[in-house]
Chain A
Amino acid sequence: MDKLLRLLSENSAFTTAQLAMMLDEPEDYIKAQIAEYESSGVIRGYQAVVNWDEVPDSGVMAMIELKVAPQLQKGFDDIAEKILDYKEVESVYLMAGSYDLLLTVKGRTIQEISSFVAKRLAAMNGILSTATHFMLKRYKENGVSLVDVKKDGREMVI
Chain B
Amino acid sequence: MNYSEKLTPSILSVKPSGIRRFFDIVNEMDHVISLSVGEPDFQTPWHVRQAGISSLEQGKTWYTPNRGFRELCQEITKFYQRKYNLTYSPTEECVVTVGGSEAIDVAIRCMASRGDEVLIPQPSFVCYEPLTVMAGATPVIIETRAEDAFRLKPEQLEEKITERTKLLILPYPNNPTGGIMERADLEAIAAVVKKHDLMVLSDEIYSELTYEGKQHVSIASIDGMHERTVVINGFSKSYAMTGWRLGYALAPKEIAEMLVKLHQFCIMSAPTTAQYAAIEALRNGDSDIEEMRNEYDMRRRFVVGSLNKMGLTCFKPEGAFYCFPCIKSTGLSSEEFCTRLLQSKHVALVPGSAFGESGEGYVRLSYSYSIKHLTRAMELIRDFLKELQDESNG
Q: Interface of A with B (CB < 8 Å)?
A: 3, 10-11, 17-18, 20-24, 152, 154-158
Contact = CB atoms under 8 A, between A and B. Distances in A.
A153 to B, nearest CB: 10
Nearest to A13: B375
Nearest to B40: A154
Given A18-B375, A22-B371, A158 B127 contact: yes
A156 B298 contact: no
Contacts of A154: 37, 39, 41
A23 B302 CA distance: 8
Interface in B363-378: 371-372, 375
A20 B309 CA distance: 13
Contacts of B39: 154, 157
A156 B36 contact: yes
Interface residues of B, number: 25
B302 A22 contact: yes
Given A154-B41, A156-B37, A24 B301 contact: yes
Given A20-B305, A23-B301, 10 more contacts: A18-B302, A22-B301, A22-B302, A24-B301, A154-B37, A154-B41, A156-B20, A156-B23, A156-B27, A157-B39
Interface of B: 17, 19-20, 23, 26-27, 34, 36-39, 41, 126-127, 298-299, 301-302, 304-306, 309, 371-372, 375
Contact of A158 (B20, B304, B309): B20
A21 B306 contact: yes
Which 8 residue pairs across A and B have the least CB separation, nearest first? Answer: A21-B305, A156-B23, A22-B302, A154-B37, A22-B298, A21-B302, A158-B17, A24-B301
A130 B19 CA distance: 63
Contacts of B36: 156
Contacts of B306: 18, 21
A154 B236 CA distance: 13
A158 B301 contact: no
A18 B309 CA distance: 11
29 contacts: A10-B371, A11-B371, A11-B372, A17-B309, A18-B302, A18-B306, A20-B305, A21-B304, A21-B305, A21-B306, A22-B298, A22-B299, A22-B301, A22-B302, A22-B371, A23-B298, A23-B301, A152-B34, A152-B37, A154-B37, A154-B41, A155-B37, A156-B19, A156-B20, A156-B23, A156-B27, A156-B36, A157-B38, A158-B126
Query: Which of B37, B38, B302, B375 has the most chain A CB atoms closer than 10 A to its own CB?
Result: B302
Contacts of B20: 156, 158
A3 to B, nearest CB: 8
Nearest to B26: A156
A158 B27 CA distance: 14
